[in-house]
Amino acid sequence: MPKDSIPLELIDSWRMRIPKGAVPGMLTDGIIYTSAQMLSHVREDNTPQQVANVATLPGIVGSSLAMPDIHWGYGFPIGGVAAFDAEEGIISPGGVGYDINCGVNLVRTELTLTEVQPALEILINTLFERIPAGVGTGGPVKLNTKEINKVITQGARWAVEHGFGWDIDLSHIEGSGCLKEADPDMVSDKARLRGEDQLGTLGSGNHFVEVQVVEEVYDPQRAQDFGLELGQICVMTHSGSRGFGYKICEDYLEVMQGAVQQYAISLPDRQLACAPLDSKQGKAYFKAMCAAANYGWANRLLLVHWAREAFRTVFEKDPMALGMRLIYDISHNIARFETHIVNGKARKLCVHRKGATRSLPALHSDVPEVYRHIGAPVLIPGDMGRASYLLIGAAKAVDETFASTCHGAGRFQSRHAAVRATKGRRIDDELRSTRGIIVRARGRHTLAEEYPEAYKNVDDVVEIAHQAGLSHKVLKLRPLGAIKG
């Protein structure tokens, strides 16, 4: 279908509807959270087509949803959310993505900008030396078959029990950093091989470890609840399940192509390959996906450990004395079984979030006890030159989006287009000279692919989520320095 041919109806200032019937076979409407300012890019990217395509999948409940950071993805759009009936619906690897449990965490410190600024370059260089990063990069942790099985069944707890985290970290991770349905037997030997030496490593592309400072506070009480104030230093980490999760996705996309034939599922796009949730293939993928999710949570906690050790070296203080407490760790590429109220009745659903973050308000039963009184933190990373945000979950998201909100800025240019646009430029020099940001990257083209203007302005994306009531702004974090793969 040509670009701009999908009809969009204005619902309000922050929502557009793709009416059921815009694409043959649609079972429900599509809803895109966006603004007039950002709509032209949504159109240009042709993502409404993907939102409409998802609405054709068997067992979909509610609308096919797209968050404000939506852009083109494999099958499902990145920024897509869709829920499927647990008994009559499907599960699709394209609705989770290749980097299963790609996610973000945030660590606070007691340090201030005044204290860190003189040592910033040494700090970034130390992080760069300590944290393995890049495509195919291995790390110092080597796993045999027995240990990798423990990682993928225990998740973040494995990291803590092996000295790569603190007990208190587990209460500050979504779901305590483990999905109990993980089954090592559903993971191929090739996937396991990729995971043997990549635990505790940073991915390539938009993955990062970033030193940030609290630049603006919108909700002082909530900021205080998180132990944060203006001028305070934080560390944000963005990474996933590395080659382990990628291979699991690759393996099961092949399995799902066969399932589509076996169960006579009609698809508008073969990238939406899926299987019924109650089928052998659907159950196997879910268990393997949970294994990759657990690997991802363990991986990010190891990255937090390396960052804490880098701070110890530079500031000659124990990380606990530096107050390096994990505020939260959250996934944005995952499928979960959740209970939601639909048309006044509780229904068990499999909610696919691909480039979307869970948004849980105060008193929700899935909010960790430590935050039950205020709501779960929502972490929205931006590009390496502008900002990231800490928000909290909102009740309206529970009603409208299966408790979902955006996950980042969202790409504005493809990686190839970004490399072309930055030909002959030194992005690291530009960031240092114009914004005072120090960046280090291992990949030859990483900084070109990830230069700030390759992304939408995260301020605009977050404002839509805030105004639409999908999550509420607490504070803004400005980057001081970053390391990338």
Rounded CA-CA distance 465/352 in Å is 19
Q: Letter for the amino acid at 411?
A: R
Q: Computed over its alpha carbons, how large is the radius of gyration of the chain?
A: 21
What is the enclosing helix (H) or strand (E) of 226?
A: none
CA distances from 375 to 196, 261, 460 (A): 36, 43, 23
For 52-64, give one letter per residue: b (16+ CB within 10 A) or e: bbbbbbbbbbbbb
**Structure tokens of 170?**
């587990």
**Residues 6+ positions from 216 with CB-CB distance below 8 Å:** 230, 475, 476
Q: Are 386 and 412 in contact (CB under 8 A)?
A: no
DSSP string, 259-275: HHHHTT---SSGGG--E
Burial 345-365 (b: 16+ CB within 10 A, else e): eebebbbbbbbbbbbbbeebe
| Neighbour-count burial of 221, counting CB atoms closer than 10 A to its CB (0-12 exposed, 13-18 middle, 19+ buried) | exposed
Residue tagged active-site, from 407, 416, 445, 466: 407
List the one residue out of 55, 76, 81 whose CA is nearest residue 66: 81
Q: How far apart are CA 23 and CA 31, in angstroms?
A: 14
Strand, helix or coil for residue 116:
helix
CB 68 within 8 A of CB 38: yes
Closest CA to 458 of 405, 406, 409, 407: 409
Q: How far is CA 477 from CA 7, 107, 207, 482, in A?
A: 37, 12, 17, 13
Cβ contact 304:107 at 8 Å: yes
CA distance 263 to 116: 59
Distance, in Å, from the CA atom of 62 to the CA atom of 31, rounded to the nearest integer, reads 10
Residue pair 46/40 in contact by the 8 Å Cβ criterion: no
Catalytic site residue 352?
Answer: no
Catalytic (active-site) positions: 407
